[in-house]
Structure 1
């Protein structure tokens, strides 16, 4: 039986295999290819360390991180956030890297092991946090509804912008293909 369980949540099989190859043989590496599967494995497998990609299908790394923050027993698990785009992580998290370690992709074995050590140290030093009960909501419900509506509008606007960017990308690729002929 392996002494340690490390859960690697990444949609890239290459990254999952690379992490597995970099870790000692006595480490049991559990793999998840999307955020939803990863969150389920966090709850069922109780890993010693979580390695979480920020950009994932079905449930993003950000959403998984938020779910972890809701449960004190999950907050105690050392977390290593992985991303090839550090600026996206820092944009989402107001106080980045306070409770988890970060490793940029691609990474080498030394960087991986240092990130795991850093995450373990941060998890040990983290004060236990009380989580408010969802049964006792605070604040004005109409204000919450207004905030939710505003967020829905922002999401709709962003989806429109994404579609526009996709069209521009298709045009750009077509232009480049023409120039290469």
Structure 2
């Protein structure tokens, strides 16, 4: 992992943006999904949007509760920006009512915290060809 929170790319690997304010959760997501992906990380919503625009990830794993812009606000921005709206998003959160908010905002999949690693892996495999 470099100083910008990026992992060197595996040869031809899909890029996944992991956005969560908890570094241990970002690390857990990387560990669960394994070495077959390139990861970039954001700790808040604004950083996530900046990285989406510069890195063009193939998929986003997005927490709802973030400092600054919430995950729902990030998702709404993604879905209303023509060049970004096709990026698949897996929303993860401990909020019980967030699933409805995430679905309304356009999430492709929803995983509850604490999450089952198999559920997250399955969601990512479904969304990344």
TM range, normalised to the smaller chain? 0.7 to 0.9
The runs of 5 or more residues in structure 1 that have no matched partner are 125-181
Quote the residue 2:114 is aligned against.
106
Distance 2:39 2:106 in 1: 25
Secondary structure at 1:86 match in 2 = coil
- C-alpha displacement of 1:98: 5.9
Aligned residue among 64, 69, 78 for 1:59: 69
- C-alpha displacement of 1:113: 1.1
Distance 1:114 1:100 in 2: 13
Distance 1:59 1:117, change over 3 A: same
Q: Which has the larger helix fraction? A: 1
Please identify the structure whose Cα radius of gyration is greater.
Answer: 1
TM-score by length of 2: 0.82
The runs of 5 or more residues in structure 2 that have no matched partner are 1-8
Quote the residue 1:8 is aligned against.
18
TM-score by length of 1: 0.60
Quote the residue 1:154 is aligned against.
none
Quote the residue 2:3 is aligned against.
none
Secondary structure at 1:107 match in 2 = coil
Flag the structure with more relative contact order, 1 or 2, with Cα contacts below 8 A and sequence separation at least 6.
Answer: 2
Q: Which has the larger strand fraction? A: 2
Distance 1:15 1:99 in 2: 19
**Partners of 1:35 and 1:64 within 8 A in 2:** yes
Distance 1:59 1:98, change over 3 A: closer
Distance 1:6 1:12, change over 3 A: same
Size of the alignment, in residue pairs? 119
| Segments of 4+ moved more than 3 angstroms | 95-99
